Structure 1
Amino acid sequence: METGVYIPIISDYGFKATFGNEADSLFLRVALQALIKSDSPIREVHFDKNAFEALTIDSRSGIFDLSCTDEKGNQFIVEMQLEFAPYFVQRMKFYALHKFNTLVERGEFDYANLPRLYAIAFLEKGILPTASYHTVANLRSEQGEIIDSQMSFITVEMAKFNKQVAEIETDLEKLVYTMKTLHTTEPTQYPAFWNEEWLRRAIDELDTRKMTPEERAYFARVTAANAEAVKAERQKIQEAREAENLAVKTETVKNLLSLGVLSISQIAKTVGVSEDFVLNLSGDR
């Protein structure tokens, strides 16, 4: 993605420099508190070694993640998804249940004392049939009654967020606005809340004017590697779509041939393929 003075938070580099900043976790702690709608400040977090390394081979194609634990033992999985992902909810469940099983095993199957688990996902595109940009989901009854709150699924669909600076009040709104607009904003257009300590520290990490030569070189390498990875992933998606389209056309041609009603030429025009394609499937060659 294009970068001006500030590196996008929603880039690989930006995500690691802000959410994944082990040396200064203030931004992450305030962000997590806002995301789970807690009145209690998160005073410290411990970063877990990424438990999903073997499961996220495609992480460079627009999925970045981290895992951490707060001082109360609450578990957090935070993910960022840039490409359109209609089945991302399934991915969230896979990660959360993998983490849940790990917690149970570590606790020697003591279900009564399991910590809270929050699976949090930032999605650049919208995928849920909901109006709100921020969704908190738990296991509920048909009447909407909470059955279990030990595991929570939280999604932030940034495409649905459209508040202007004058409308922004909560830390959650400040967070999403910053994630959406920082890299397109000039320093002279700073909203006042960007001077709040938790946001100012994060923004400083993304200010290209304050980067050392080594940081600039690293940023350039990460950007180039991600661009190639995304390009390769899109090529794979395109090839998969073409293969699926070919399979559908093949099945349609076979069905029409079996009916014996249309000529080779008519079938080719109906399905949108060449006559040679139809002939090869008809067995007349």
Structure 2
Amino acid sequence: MMYLDPKADLTFKKIFAKHPDLLISLLNSLLPLSDEEQIVEIKYLPNELVPELYGRKNTIVDVLCQDVSGRKFCVEMQMEWSNAFMQRVLFNASKLYVTQLQKAEEYETLKPVYSLNLVNEIFEKDMPDCFIHNYRIVHDKNTKKVIEGLHFTFIELPKFTPHTFLEKRMSVLWLRFLTEIDSDTREVPADLLESPEISKALEEVKVSSFTDAELRTYDKFWDTIRTEKTLLKDKYEKGIEKGAIDEKIATAQRLLAMGLSVDQVATATQLTLEHIEKLKNSLNTK
């Protein structure tokens, strides 16, 4: 049996934007909800968050829904991390929160907004043992004092290993599904197949359940991801190279100011004699 990676845009939406029971299971498993806060029923909302004022940004989320109590849930599968992504998440959730209130309604009617963000990159490198990051608005000296309304969960999928998250079995199964199943999968572990929810999700990512046009869209998605990664890598390497040259120039300027000859500075910094001469001339004209 051949499968597609559930993290792709096409497959992720095919699973969670069309099967409310699977989305409810995912949210209840991965969000920090108490037993009393568990979601029992949802309705899907348009996943395009349309701005009400001209000039504001239009943003797209993977899946957007609301439960019977009015709480809203925003789910995103993010393949690449950037600092701008966290700001976009904050923007999306804030917009969902403030657009609830209609004219003449009281602020007390506002319901919480939960944002679940699955990230396929490591972005908290200084926290190697923590892959689930939950954020709320808390007091800076007493974190038990909370302003309710906005809840954010970020999950670093590459950090996940089954033994690190054992308190909820369904959490482990969903994270294993997202991290273990891909286009190279030919045989699914038995414990994944034993779960009705995971088994249903697996049916949705079988290659045989996609049309040729959908498969082309799937391939194009991964081509785009690879291209973006290459461009980011090139940009990073160019930045490193520029930084190294800037450091050599600063060193050369210090050595010239100390009275070393052009030849000595060129040898020490590996910059060309012509480059050192120009630096020396610019220092002499100051």
Give me the TM-score of the superposition, normalised by structure 1.
0.75
* Letter in structure 2 aligned against 1:178: F
How many residues align? The count is 268
DSSP-derived class of the 1:136 partner: strand
Deviation at 1:241, TM superposition (A): 4.0
Deviation at 1:65, TM superposition (A): 4.1
Deviation at 1:106, TM superposition (A): 5.0
What is the match of residue 279 of structure 1?
277
Q: 1:67·1:75 contact (CA, 8 Å) conserved in 2? A: no
Deviation at 1:9, TM superposition (A): 2.0
Q: In percent, how many aligned pairs have the same letter? A: 15
Residue 29 of structure 2 corresponds to residue 29 of structure 1 = no
What is the match of residue 119 of structure 1?
115
Q: Pick closer, same or farther for the CA change 1:177–1:110 going to 2, 3 Å.
A: same
DSSP-derived class of the 1:283 partner: helix
Q: Pick closer, same or farther for the CA change 1:275–1:201 going to 2, 3 Å.
A: farther
DSSP-derived class of the 2:19 partner: coil
Higher radius of gyration, 1 or 2:
2
* Letter in structure 1 aligned against 2:115: A
How far apart, CA to CA, are the structure 2 residues paired with 1:18 and 1:239? 39
Segments of 4+ moved more than 6 angstroms: none
Deviates more, 1:205-214 or 1:148-157: 205-214
Structure 2 gap segments, 5+ residues each: none
- 1:110-189, aligned counterparts within 5 Å? 111-128=107-124, 129-130=126-127, 131-141=129-139, 142-163=141-162, 169-183=168-182, 184-187=184-187, 189=188
Q: Pick closer, same or farther for the CA change 1:49–1:111 going to 2, 3 Å.
A: same
What is the match of residue 82 of structure 1?
79
What is the match of residue 7 of structure 2?
10
Structure 1 gap segments, 5+ residues each: 58-63
How far apart, CA to CA, are the structure 1 residues paired with 2:12 and 2:271? 46
* Letter in structure 1 aligned against 2:273: E
Q: 2:6·2:178 contact (CA, 8 Å) conserved in 1? A: yes
DSSP-derived class of the 1:34 partner: helix
Q: 2:47·2:61 contact (CA, 8 Å) conserved in 1? A: no
Computed over aligned residues only, the root mean square deviation of the Cα atoms, in angstroms, reads: 3.6
* Letter in structure 1 aligned against 2:23: L
DSSP-derived class of the 2:172 partner: helix
